[in-house]
Chains A and B, each alone.
Chain A
Amino acid sequence: MKLACVVQRYGAGVAGGSERHCRELALRLAARHDVTVLTTCAADYVTWSNEFPAGESVDGPLHVRRFPVSRPRRLKRFAELSDEVFDGRAPEAQQEDWFRENGPDCPALLDYLRAEGGLFDLVLFWTFRYAPSFFGVPLVRDRAVLLPTAEEDRAVDLSVLEGFFQIPAAYLFLTPEEETLVSTRAGRRLQPSAVIGMGLEPAPPVVTPAPLRDPYLLYVGRVDRNKGCDTLLEYFIEYAAVHEGPSLVLAGPAKMQVPAHPRVRGLGRVSDGERDALLQSALALVVPSPFESLSIVLLEGWNRAVPAIVNARCAVLKGQVRRANGGLYYRSSAEFAEAVETLRASEPERRALGAQGLAYVEREYRWPTVMERVERLLDEALALRRARPRA
């Protein structure tokens, strides 16, 4: 098949869940197909400023075609528009403006899809919330495969999405919860579709020595209110006031004030090696985010047989933990404390949960399993398109 992968940013060094997902999947699809990545010259998801040169390049087996972003994101305008649109009463034209302002505004990419999109058998789009997907999917609707990477945040509630989510020819979801969320917003079951998740290689052995000796709970990622870190810190400090027990280690750049506390350690950004070593020795991985479409870090924790403690308000995290039986979840400070104490008090139970998490990854998230689901869905989407009478 001749496939195109459309994503807002692209590159080995580009951080971001959907960008990473796109690259990993595209590289593996290239083993059987002719794959072109259609993306922008942006590297920064806040400003979308052009940093990569426009034009064609290669990334291993992939052709990469970059298009310039016409203007950086107007942050003030975007913030104002977000206020108005998320209030829930914005007309659809204004909601479409929100997608335009969210960017990256890349008319050349859309022109290319309009002119050349028909040359591809299928065009895969990552992330509904960015302009290349929102405005690009309708241009190649008969061959568009959408990976919405939708979370239960305000954007997914926009009424304009009810129609948008019905446009693509096929869908790839990261979790069953995401499929339910998007189908509910669309008002019907979306077919053909597959829940694919994300592939992981078996965890490589840790070469960096364990950085901490005392038991600790580990948070990995941006330390940010939007990631639920303020509530995590609140709950942990309440827990620490009553219980002798592990400390909380935050491994990631801080975007909020981390309170000074003898059992809270903010490490800032850490290397991949340090991250692996921290994960390997953690009492548990904590994932406090209320909004996730998959949580790769949760899978990475299980890949090292580390049990998880997750925020139950996030249906995806709770669903993943329940399916894997690889950890515990909390809704309140009391449940958080009880979960930590349960894992601290019983090493066999902690190990069993970690092992079950690893078994879940082995069962569901190894690349051959993931790619089999993807290939099956792409075959089905192509067959359906070919069977459809031409307009």
Chain B
Amino acid sequence: MADVQGRVRERLRLHLVRHGAAAFEDPVLFAEVEHLLRTSIDAGDSHALILPELLGEPASWRLETAMRWDSHRPKAPAAAVLFVKRRVLMPLFRWLFEYSRDNFERQRRVNQVLFACVQELALENARLRHDLERREPS
């Protein structure tokens, strides 16, 4: 399996270099970057992420993929409006809703992966800083 991945990785590296990612001319550097990002992607599906906690109020950043059935109107008109939305319009446009929801789900996954990448890079940075501090003469 390592051979298969190695060949694919090398082709990807050459493709990126051809398209301007000159830093990846060094295969060792590329392997390290690729490993770090891959680890982050694997961790991206987990719940052990710090950024969602730090971002604060979820309403300000979280993707909402469900339709909320509520209304600001008084009780009786609200019930009528919600009935029309839910039982008449929604069945008609469910295909469109599902199309959008599936795309939002993809975006949510990308966001999680990016959160994980940032976390991994922050960790790496913190560890390197600690190493440096330990090595510096006091």
Contact = CB atoms under 8 A, between A and B. Distances in A.
Interface of A: 76, 83-89, 152, 184, 321-322, 328-329, 332, 334-335, 338-339, 342
17 contacts: A76-B91, A83-B65, A83-B66, A83-B101, A84-B67, A86-B66, A87-B64, A87-B65, A87-B66, A88-B62, A89-B58, A152-B45, A322-B1, A328-B1, A332-B8, A335-B4, A342-B4
A183 to B, nearest CB: 13
Contacts of B66: 83-87, 89
Contact of B8 (A83, A152, A338): A338
A85 B62 CA distance: 15
A342 B5 contact: no
A275 B12 CA distance: 37
Interface string B53-77: 0000010001011110000000000
**Candidate in B3, B4, B67 with the most chain A CB atoms within 10 angstroms:** B4
Contacts of A89: 58, 66
Nearest to B91: A76
Interface of B: 1, 3-5, 7-8, 11-12, 45-47, 58, 62, 64-67, 91, 101
A338 B3 CA distance: 10
Given A83-B66, A84-B66, A334 B46 contact: no
Nearest to B41: A331
Given A83-B65, A88-B62, 14 more contacts: A83-B66, A83-B67, A83-B101, A84-B66, A89-B58, A152-B45, A184-B47, A322-B1, A334-B12, A335-B4, A338-B4, A339-B4, A342-B3, A342-B4
B77 to A, nearest CB: 22
Contacts of B65: 83, 86-87
**Candidate in B3, B58, B66 with the most chain A CB atoms within 10 angstroms:** B66
B1 A329 contact: yes
A187 B46 CA distance: 12
Contacts of A328: 1, 4
Contacts of B11: 334
A260 to B, nearest CB: 24
B43 to A, nearest CB: 12
Contacts of A335: 4-5, 8
B30 to A, nearest CB: 15
Contact of A334 (B8, B47, B58, B91): B8
Contacts of A332: 8
B16 to A, nearest CB: 12
Contacts of B91: 76
A86 B3 CA distance: 39
A338 B67 contact: no
Nearest to B42: A315
Contacts of B5: 335
A263 B114 CA distance: 37
A250 B64 CA distance: 36
B108 to A, nearest CB: 9
A165 to B, nearest CB: 14
Contacts of B45: 152
A169 to B, nearest CB: 26
A152 B58 CA distance: 23
Nearest to B45: A152
A127 to B, nearest CB: 22
**Candidate in A83, A87, A332 with the most chain B CB atoms within 10 angstroms:** A87
A48 B64 CA distance: 31
Contacts of A86: 65-66
A7 B85 CA distance: 38
A138 B11 CA distance: 54
Contacts of A322: 1
A184 B45 CA distance: 12
Contact of B46 (A76, A85, A184, A338): A184
A87 B65 CA distance: 6
A329 B46 CA distance: 21
A86 B125 CA distance: 35
Contact of A338 (B7, B62, B64): B7
A87 B4 CA distance: 38
Contacts of A342: 3-4
A242 to B, nearest CB: 12
